[in-house]
Structure formats: structure tokens, C-alpha cells
């Protein structure tokens, strides 16, 4: 009987740091009334600002006033492969009427892939990793 079970090891996680003053983080602050360089045209045109539906005439505000993003992706792959081969060779009898030769085989394969995504919003790299979470980010 021959069998084996190789197992694939997981890859290291992919981390993507979007710092406090990166373009993607600043896109959430362009046109905010509380930020320098406020402009009503940019405020109306920026889709990343939050407009309160209960107060439609107020200016839209930033959902990310401080910090950036911390993105992490974990991927795992589990591979199970079990081949089995059996052979039978009995040789009994003097007139060779009872000679038996058999070859039996079976195989089992299984692949399991998992992906976990995590996005840390408001991660302040300049202050040692302190998060500033704004509840409006989940509403936007």
C-alpha cells in the first residue's frame, strides 16, 4: 500500500499601508469644511464626503478627518492528495489454476481556499498606530 498527503503551507499576509498624507487618504478630506483649502465646488463634487440625509442643505463632511488606512489580506490554501495503490500476487497450486494477480487503486483530492480581508480605517501612523474611527465611515 502506497499513500502520501502533501499539505500546502499558507502564504505570508499582504499588508498595504496608506499613510496619513497619502493621496487615497486625502481624497476623503478634499472639500471638507474643517480642512484647509475648503471649496464649495469640491465639497459638492467629492463622492467620499458624507452628506446627512436628514440635513440635505448642510455641507458634506469628511468620514476620515485623521489618519489613513491599514489593509491586510490573508490567504490560505490547503491541499490534500491521498493516492492508494494495492497489489495482490498470491501463487498457490501446482497446476497454476489458482494464480491471482490484482491491482487496485483509489485517489482522494481536496482543495480548500480561504481569504480574509481587513481594512483598518483612520489608522494614524504618525502617532504610533492610534486609530481614529469615525462612525460616519460605515454610513457612507
Domain that holds residue 118: 14-28+63-139
For the entire predicted model, the pTM comes to 0.66
Predicted confidence at residue 3, as pLDDT, reads 47
Predicted confidence at residue 71, as pLDDT, reads 94
| Residue 43 domain-assigned (yes or no) | no
**Angular region, 52: left φ>0, alpha ψ -120 to 50, beta rest:** beta
| Residue 19 domain-assigned (yes or no) | yes
pLDDT digits (tens, 9 = 90+) for 67-107: 999 999 998 888 888 888 888 877 766 676 777 788 888 88
Predicted confidence at residue 2, as pLDDT, reads 47
| Residue 49 domain-assigned (yes or no) | no
Predicted confidence at residue 40, as pLDDT, reads 85
Q: CA torsion, points 64, 65, 68, 72, in degrees to nearest 10? A: -30
| Residue 53 domain-assigned (yes or no) | no
Beta-carbon neighbour count of residue 107 at 10 Å?
A: 10
Residues of the chain falling short of pLDDT 70: 1-10, 92-94, 96
Beta-carbon neighbour count of residue 31 at 10 Å?
A: 23
Say if residues 102 and 56 touch (Cβ distance below 8 Å): no
Predicted confidence at residue 94, as pLDDT, reads 65
20, three cell numbers: 496619513
Say if residues 126 and 68 touch (Cβ distance below 8 Å): no
| Residue 114 domain-assigned (yes or no) | yes
Domain count, the chain: 1
Amino acid at each position: 500500500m502506497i499513500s502520501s498527503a502533501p499539505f500546502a503551507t499558507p502564504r505570508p499576509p499582504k499588508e498595504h499601508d496608506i499613510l496619513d498624507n497619502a493621496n487615497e487618504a486625502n481624497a476623503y478630506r478634499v472639500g471638507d469644511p474643517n480642512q484647509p483649502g475648503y471649496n464649495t465646488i469640491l465639497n459638492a463634487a467629492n463622492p467620499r464626503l458624507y452628506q446627512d440625509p436628514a440635513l440635505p442643505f448642510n455641507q458634506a463632511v469628511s468620514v476620515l478627518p485623521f489618519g489613513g488606512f491599514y489593509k491586510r489580506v490573508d490567504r490560505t490554501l490547503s491541499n490534500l492528495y491521498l493516492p492508494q495503490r494495492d497489489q495482490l500476487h498470491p501463487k498457490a497450486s501446482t497446476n497454476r489454476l489458482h494464480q491471482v494477480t490484482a491491482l487496485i487503486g483509489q485517489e482522494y483530492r481536496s482543495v480548500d481556499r480561504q481569504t480574509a480581508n481587513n481594512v483598518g480605517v483612520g489608522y494614524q501612523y504618525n502617532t504610533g498606530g492610534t486609530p481614529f474611527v469615525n462612525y460616519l465611515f460605515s454610513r457612507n
